[in-house]
Amino acid sequence: MKRREQRVSKWVRSQAPTRESFERNRFLSPFAHRVFAPELWRFTRRSVPRGVALGLLVGIFLLIPGLQIVGAALLALPFRANIPIAAAMTFLSNPLTTPFILAASLFIGEGMLKLGGDPGRLTMMMEKGASMGDWLAWTFSEGAPALVAGLAAISALMAVIGYFLAVVLWRWWIGRKWLRRGHHWNRPLS
């Protein structure tokens, strides 16, 4: 069990963007003095759940690769969230999950707004390789408001779930570390 945890931890560290990769990003250079503050790169019980929530919120709602990481990093500043975790969580939306996120967003958005649009139209346009004019027409039709409303609902819900799940997992992980070191919760302090 311990080896598996070490492998997962090592994999997460290898996949998370490094501070150096953020320093090379031209979009972040105006904010470098704030983005590279050491407290935003530490893994603490408060900064990690905030990073998870912000990364999920931005990663699901924005759906534009590259801008997701920048958006999550910039949003982490005022919330004092862990930047590497926020950036890593944006990878939840990837080429494999994006079609499901879009379909669920359209379904939920249609349910919320009751526009009577056709969610199959988006799929048809993607399969046909629609022109820019077709995409603009769809953007100003009933499909886009439903998509945006659905994305907002899903990203907010996933951010809340991610936050609380990160809090629970953080406590579990710290508890296991204490037990491995020989600390016991019920033992007197004498």
SS3 for 38-79 is: HHHCCCCCCHHHHHHHHHHHHHHHHCCCCHHHHHHHHHHHHH
Provide the residue ranges of all domains of the chain, joining segments of one domain with +: 15-190
**pLDDT tens for each residue of 93-108:** 988 998 899 889 888 9
Chain segment 44-85, per-residue pLDDT in tens: 999 999 999 999 999 999 988 888 988 998 899 899 999 999
For the full predicted model, state whether its pTM sits above 0.85: no
Please tell me the distance from the alpha carbon of residue 16 to that of residue 83, in angstroms, as a whole number. 10
- Phi, psi (5° rounding) for residue 115? -85, -20
